[in-house]
Amino acid sequence: MTHDNTAIRSMSFGLLHLPTGGGRAWLDEVKAAEQHGWNCLLVPDTLWTPSPFPTLASAAAVTASLRLRTWVLAAPLRSPTAVTREVKALQLLSGGRFELGIGSGRPDAEREAQLLGVPWGTPAERIRQVEQVIMAVREQVIPAPIIAITGFGPKMLATAARIADRVGLALPPTASEGELRAAVDRLQAMRSNHIGLTLQLSGVAGKLTTWLASSGLDPQALSASNAIGMLSGDTAQMTDTLQRWRVEFGIDEIIVPGELADEFAPVIGRMTA
């Protein structure tokens, strides 16, 4: 397949990254990410990783165009007022570059809710919390940030189709393109106007993230089965795959874990050549 630079250039690339050393090293990494063509910096929200809001605030201070997003904020862990306060600060410090990535919480986040002393709630209650946080942020924060909801279940997708600007399709790394198509079709059936679609990779060019590799997933098997979690092939082949996903499925943003940034860098280089 011959790739179309116009299609590739319309795709955005996000780096899912965390500080692993001191503050100065983190700031250097953030500046380098912006210089190397990444469009967005994403930071997770768990009790086992640095808090996303101060981490992103420090990144805002040393960048000019890099967008900054939580990936993803667990709505049950904070009140709408607490989230609104943090979003206001980040919009101010970043000059309006903050984006609120939010969801109803990973299954294992129930333990984190217990440690924080906040109720976990039923799935329906947690989805309502997502809506309440988004409503408060949109009413009280100027400029209102882009809202990206991550999920996969039918109720979460229905909520995202109704109120989100962007949806992160939370498919497992083993999912097939057929499963991706089914998820996109379900979402589009519920949404009449355009919505951004994000897909997060778990592997690039035969290499998996450390935690997935340690879980027993076989990168060769993922590549052989054309699983969407593993972007396979040489630079030209990976670029063509992204083009096809953009055209066939409407995927306009790819998220790459920080430890796979070097493997993905040639794709960004090809895009900007």
The least confident of 104-108, 110-114, 223-227, 269-273 is 269-273
Q: What angle do CA 234, 173, 248 make, to 5 degrees?
A: 65
Beta strand residue intervals within 44-179, DSSP E: 67-70, 73-74, 98-103, 146-151, 166-169
Beta strands per DSSP E along the chain: 12-16, 40-43, 67-70, 73-74, 98-103, 146-151, 166-169, 196-200, 203-204, 207-208, 230-231, 251-257
Q: Is the pLDDT of residue 5 over 70?
A: no
pTM for this model (two decimals): 0.95
pLDDT at 136 over 50: yes
Q: Which residue has the higher pLDDT, 266 or 1?
A: 266
pLDDT average, residue stretch 206-212: 93
Distance CA 21, CA 125 (A): 37
How far is 149 from 112, CA to CA, in rounded Å? 20
Please determine, for residue 78, whether its predicted confidence score (pLDDT) is greater than 50.
Answer: yes
Say how far apart CA 182 and CA 180 lie, in whole Å.
5
- The CA distance from 181 to 153, in Å, is 15
| Mean pLDDT, residues 191-204 | 93
* Span between the terminal Cα atoms of the chain, in Å: 18
Query: What is the amino acid identity at position 78?
Result: R
Confidence of residue 3 (pLDDT cuts 50, 70, 90): very low
d(CA 161, CA 18): 29
All residues at 6 or more sequence positions from 75 whose CB lies less than 8 Å from its CB, including other chains: 83, 102, 103, 104, 105, 126, 129, 130, 132, 133
Dihedrals φ, ψ of 207, to 5°? -110, 130
Residue 7 is predicted with a pLDDT of 53
- Six token digits for residue 140: 């009280």
Structural domains of the chain in order of their starting residue, each with its CATH number: 5-272 (3.20.20.30)
* pLDDT recorded at residue 271: 77
Q: Are 190 and 161 in contact (CB under 8 A)?
A: yes
Report the C-alpha gap between 49 and 250 in whole angstroms. Answer: 32
Pairing outcome for strands 73-74 and 166-169:
unpaired
